[in-house]
A and B are shown apart, each in its own frame.
Chain A
Amino acid sequence: MTHSTVQPTPASATPEGGHLLELRDLHVEFRTNEGVARVINGVSYHLDAGETLAVLGESGSGKSVTAQAIMGILDTPPAVVRSGQILYQGQDLLTRSEEQRRQVRGKEIAMIFQDALSALNPVFPVGWQIGETLRQRAGMSRADARRRAIELMDLVKIPGAAKRIGDYPHQFSGGMRQRVMIAMALALDPKVLIADEPTTALDVTVQAQIMDLLADLRRDLNMAMILITHDLGVVAGVADRIAVMYAGRIVEHADVRSLYKAPAHPYTKGLLESIPRMDVRGQELSTIKGLPPNLMRIPSGCPFHPRCPYVQQVCVDVVPHDLVLGDGRTSECHFAQEVRDDSAR
Chain B
Amino acid sequence: MTAPASSTKVRGETILSVDNLVKHFPISQGVLFQRQIGAVKAVDGVSFELRRGETLGVVGESGCGKSTLARLLMRLETPTSGRATLEGKDLFKASGAELRRLRRNMQMVMQDPYTSLNPRMTVGDIIGEPFEIHRDAAPKGSRDRRVQELLDVVGLNPEHINRYPHQFSGGQRQRIGIARALALRPEVIVCDEPVSALDVSIQAQVINLLEQLQDEFGLSYIFIAHDLSVVRHIADRVAVMYLGRIVEIGTEDEIYERATHPYTQALLSAVPVPDPEVRDQRNMIRLVGDVPSPADPPSGCHFRTRCWKAQDICAVEDPQTVPRAADPHPSACHFAELRPATP
Contact = CB atoms under 8 A, between A and B. Distances in A.
A231 B204 contact: no
Contacts of B229: 233, 275-278
Contacts of B272: 207-208, 211, 231, 233-234, 236-237
Nearest to B293: A173
Interface in A273-325: 274-279, 281-282, 284-288, 291-292
A49 B3 CA distance: 61
B208 A277 contact: no
Contacts of B228: 204, 278
B276 A260 contact: yes
B199 A236 contact: no
A277 B199 CA distance: 16
A281 B274 contact: no
Contact of A173 (B226, B230, B290): B290
A288 B201 contact: yes
B273 A236 contact: yes
B201 A287 contact: yes
A260 B232 contact: no
A291 B276 contact: no
Interface string B326-340: 000000000000000
Contacts of A282: 233
A215 to B, nearest CB: 12
A51 interface: no
Interface in A228-259: 230-237, 256-257
A173 B291 CA distance: 9
Contacts of B171: 291
A208 B284 contact: yes
How many A residues are at the interface, by size bracket?
A: 35 or more
B62 interface: yes
Given A278-B228, A278-B271, A232 B200 contact: yes
A12 B143 CA distance: 72
B203 interface: yes
A92 interface: no
A278 to B, nearest CB: 4
A275 B275 contact: no
Central interface residue in B270, B275, B278, B279, by most chain A CB within 10 Å: B275
B233 A175 contact: no
Interface in A159-192: 173-176
Interface string A192-210: 0000000000011111110
A204 B200 contact: no
Contacts of B80: none
Contacts of A232: 200, 274
Contacts of A205: 61, 266-267, 270, 287
Contacts of A257: 276-277
B211 interface: yes
A278 B232 contact: yes
A276 B207 contact: yes
A256 B232 contact: no
Interface in B166-205: 169, 171-172, 199-205
Contacts of A236: 272-276, 279
Q: Which of B171, B200, B202 has the most CB of A within 10 A?
A: B200
Nearest to B61: A203
A284 B230 contact: no
Contacts, number: 123
A84 to B, nearest CB: 26
B145 interface: no
B256 interface: yes
Interface in B266-319: 266-268, 270-279, 284, 286-287, 290-291
The residue among B207, B211, B274, B291 with the most chain A CB atoms within 10 A of its own CB is B274
A103 interface: no
A256 B172 CA distance: 32
A206 B267 CA distance: 10
A25 interface: no
Contacts of B287: 205, 209
A216 to B, nearest CB: 12
A230 B199 contact: yes
A251 to B, nearest CB: 13
A207 B287 CA distance: 11
B224 to A, nearest CB: 14
A271 interface: yes
A279 B273 contact: yes
B279 A59 contact: no
Contact of A278 (B205, B234, B273): B273
Nearest to A58: B199
A274 B204 contact: yes
B147 to A, nearest CB: 22
A209 to B, nearest CB: 7
Contacts of B277: 257, 260-261
Contacts of B230: 276
19 contacts: A175-B290, A203-B61, A203-B62, A203-B226, A206-B290, A231-B272, A235-B274, A260-B274, A272-B274, A274-B204, A277-B275, A278-B232, A278-B268, A281-B232, A282-B233, A285-B208, A287-B205, A288-B201, A291-B202
Interface of B: 61-62, 169, 171-172, 199-205, 207-208, 211, 226, 228-230, 232-234, 252, 256, 266-268, 270-279, 284, 286-287, 290-291
Given A59-B199, A287-B204, A291-B171, 8 more contacts: A203-B62, A205-B287, A207-B270, A208-B270, A275-B204, A276-B204, A284-B208, A285-B207
Which 4 interchain pairs have the tightest Cβ spacing?
A: A233-B272, A276-B233, A274-B204, A203-B61
